[in-house]
A and B are shown apart, each in its own frame.
Chain A
Amino acid sequence: MVQYVSPPLDLSFAALSDATRRGIIDQLGRGDASITSLADKFQMTLTGMKKHVQVLERAGLVVTQKVGRVRTCKLGKRGLNAEAEWIEAHRKLFEARFEALDEIIGEMTQEGSDEPAS
């Protein structure tokens, strides 16, 4: 698996399997926010929000930074690199397709309907 692109996918899926956490990602997409303000917005305790943020942080979806007494959350690299990720996903899709196409072309070539493969 590709280690340098992102943490394991199952971490992300686990992180995003919760509606509140998806809401947090959505919210951070509109701008950075402190844990306190997120807790307010989602009507949760600070502790509850911290737990959610930790899960998102482990999945690389959110990064946090503490300045003074305020911990600010923002979208992690994976969120910011949506374009690069999309292109990579696109590449993976076509790569998988073309691998399969390659096999079929190999079969066709061996059937002798074209010049024999070298």
Chain B
Amino acid sequence: MNQQVNSADGAQNRTSVERKGDRELVVTRTFNAPPSTVYRAWSQPELFQRWWVPKSASGVSLVSCDMDVRTGGKYRLEFGAGGSDTMAFYGKYLEVVPNERIVWTNDEGEEGAITTVTFEDQGGKTLLNLHEVYPSKEALEEALQGGAAALPEQLEQLDELLSGTGE
């Protein structure tokens, strides 16, 4: 398992998340492969769906995954937690530059962020930057406070999870 060390870098490729300015969140990480490889894992649905939903999000799985990764294309991901209820995330690709960047909208919410992911070649490795830019400061604040608001929902999911273990 991963050691949670907050100062590790260098040899270990760490994921960092920062709030930048009023309405932006930035996620960065380095991968030991050239951008073409990382881009492929990000743009081919059969590869993308193998990692976008981590195993640690137990109980939640991807029911369907449609991605037309090109400028103007659309995507739709549907998640389920075992029951008949599914949750959909969808939007369109505003800009796709193979091996360099993918920009998409998140249209399932009122004030969704625009996500930009860039793949930067660093001598055979890839520096990945993911920016989520919200339409307003308030929208980001809301997302940040969503943690507390989402609690009841998480509890429901937890209930479902627990009731599914035959306890």
Contacts and interface: CB of A to CB of B under 8 A. Distances in A.
A115 B54 CA distance: 27
Contacts, number: 105
Nearest to B18: A87
Q: Interface extent on A, as a size class?
A: 35 or more
A108 B151 contact: no
Interface in A69-105: 79, 82-83, 85-91, 93-105
B8 to A, nearest CB: 12
B15 interface: yes
Interface SS, B side: mixed
Interface of B: 2, 4, 13-19, 25, 27, 29, 31-34, 36-38, 40-42, 47, 50-57, 124, 128, 130, 143-148, 151-152, 155, 158
B54 A100 contact: yes
Contact of A96 (B31, B54, B148, B151): B54
Contacts of A97: 51-54
Nearest to A9: B158
